[in-house]
Structure 1
Amino acid sequence: MNKYETALQRIDAAHADDPRQTQTASGPIPYELHYAHKMTSYLTTLQPHATELLRLAIRAQHLRRWEVPRDSYPATKIGYHSWRAGLQRRQAALVEEICVESGFSTEEAARVGALVRKADLKQGDPDTQTLEDVACLVFLDDQFDKFETDLGDEAKMVDILRKTWGKMSERGREEALKIKLSENAQRLVGIALNG
């Protein structure tokens, strides 16, 4: 195996440790491994010739995320943002270590880590924007209905949808409009985009 294949295998092995399972057409699979495969699938749609470093960052987006549950931080807006920032730093450090151990240079590993942290999103880095688009697409496609049910607040959900839409590029939005959503999700998206 080359260094990319080695790193990818190590990332997937980490995802496979997730004790949470989700049901797929081919049977149960650890949730984060399922999520990582969804991320890769949307990356292939948006940017089929993505660099190895972007592909690794996409695959490592939620690396060992289940180990730091949301309720380990206060149930406040500041708590949420602290949790997200802490996760990004932790996931970036983990994937950088995997990349170096797999044969990538420290500079290459640092680039993967920066992408996972979304460090250059506001500076217009196209790879970071692609990662953001992919994460938003997976949220809409795979997580929306459960999130909406758990949240139980239509006004907040519409606000989240507006913020999600605002994070996406035009290319990402085009792909989002192709997603087959549940009837309720379609209704809420309609309110978010037209309200």
Structure 2
Amino acid sequence: MTRLQTAFDAIDKANAADPNRTDGQPDELLYGQRMTAEQEALYPGAAEPLRIACRGQHIERWKLPRKDFPMDRPGYLKWRTEQGRRHAARVAEIMRDAGYPDSDIEHAEKMLTKQGIKRDEDVQALEDVACFTFIRWYMGPFSQTRDAQEMQRIVERTARKMSAMARARALTEFTIPEPFSASFRD
């Protein structure tokens, strides 16, 4: 078995313990697999640290519930930052156990803690993959729980996080109605 497969198997095993289910599957296991599928489509030649960061982006996410933080924007940002730190530490542990060098582990940690969005191409690639995963799998159901104005802000923030390449590709891969599609144009 390769180091990559060892890391994927460990991430999947951890996420298989998620008590939250969608169609009978653990939510975070499904999310990790969806992230890998989007990464393979967007960045097929990705190096292993990026591939692992995509698979492990939400590793054991349920262990730190959103409800444990204030239900406002600052609370959300604090929760998301802490999740990134926890995900990076857990993925680093898995990569170390799989035999990856420190440089690869540190690079994956940098991606998972979002250090360098818009400046580091791999950090940006991870963000592009996460945005595509959100748009393809989660935006529709999510929009059912939000009003139009709030959804517009969410779509605008999502588009701002993406690279120009990913925004352009999103317009060709997804049916994004106006006024939302305007957020994806340069």
Q: Same fold (TM over 0.5)?
A: yes
State yes or no: 1:164 paired with 2:158.
yes
SS at match of 2:22: strand
| Identity value in percent | 36
**Unmatched 5+ stretches in structure 1:** none
State yes or no: 1:93 paired with 2:89.
yes
Q: Which amino acid aligns with 1:74?
A: P
Checking the alignment, whether the CA contact within 8 Å between 1:141 and 1:179 is kept in structure 2 is: no
1:138 maps to 133
* 1:17-49 Cα distance to aligned partner (Å, 9 max, x none): 1111112xxxx3211111111111111111111
Checking the alignment, whether the CA contact within 8 Å between 2:171 and 2:184 is kept in structure 1 is: no
Q: Which amino acid aligns with 2:67?
A: D
2:42 maps to 46
1:189 maps to 180
Checking the alignment, whether the CA contact within 8 Å between 1:18 and 1:30 is kept in structure 2 is: yes
Q: How does 1:24-39 map to 2 (within 5 A)?
A: 28-39=24-35
Give how far 1:192 is off. Answer: 5.0
SS at match of 1:186: coil
CA RMSD of aligned residues (A): 1.7
1:155 maps to 149
Q: Which amino acid aligns with 1:2?
A: T
Give how far 1:190 is off. Answer: 4.0
Q: Which amino acid aligns with 2:18?
A: D
2:78 maps to 82
Checking the alignment, whether the CA contact within 8 Å between 1:39 and 1:135 is kept in structure 2 is: yes
State yes or no: 1:173 paired with 2:167.
yes
Q: Which amino acid aligns with 1:117?
A: T
Distance 2:143 2:66 in 1: 16
**Unmatched 5+ stretches in structure 2:** none
TM-score by length of 2: 0.92
Distance 1:193 1:171 in 2: 10
1:8 maps to 8
How many residue pairs match? The answer is 185
State yes or no: 1:19 paired with 2:19.
yes
Distance 2:105 2:22 in 1: 30
Q: Which amino acid aligns with 2:50?
A: L
Give how far 1:98 is off. Answer: 0.7
Change (3 A) 1:13 1:192: same
Change (3 A) 1:79 1:99: same
TM-score by length of 1: 0.88
2:120 maps to 125
